[in-house]
Structure 1
């Protein structure tokens, strides 16, 4: 099946297909930057055991990136938030609690 079939599906949905040259890492700088960030902040730090575990880790990272992680280009707001972030909390007055986000492997997998 050629790429023309995929292109026709995208065109039917009103999506413009942009062709990038092969082996040109700077052709899609936004995607390349995101992949590099995911690898550096997440995948290079966690041993991935199988495909299902990979999808679980990526799902948790994506939720963190879109809902909690501050982005400089958006005034320190995550992509899913439009309001201005809350003021900085004095850590001397608040107890910091760690929360496990990516859970261990389930033996039933």
Structure 2
């Protein structure tokens, strides 16, 4: 399975890039570090899982990616509420996180 061909990897990669670009000037370094790491974790764990030999290992890494997506969604919600993230952007990220989480769930079932 080539992860670069998976829609969930393509979209989560794009989301991670958007997070980095949007928060480049965020001065709350703890928040910025945490949300960028959770966003980056999703496509990274999808890629790592797809490169693993066993189905059990693939499942484990896709599951980690799904957990990171939930973490990211929570951080996007909180970041929006405290004003670190523009409301429209924050809601967009949360919606994308919901859709990506569903896609990851479907991929887990497929494995």
TM-score, with structure 1 as normaliser = 0.30
Structure 1 or 2: more helix by fraction:
2
TM-score, with structure 2 as normaliser = 0.29
Query: Greater relative contact order: 1 or 2 (C-alpha under 8 angstroms, separation 6 or more)?
Result: 2
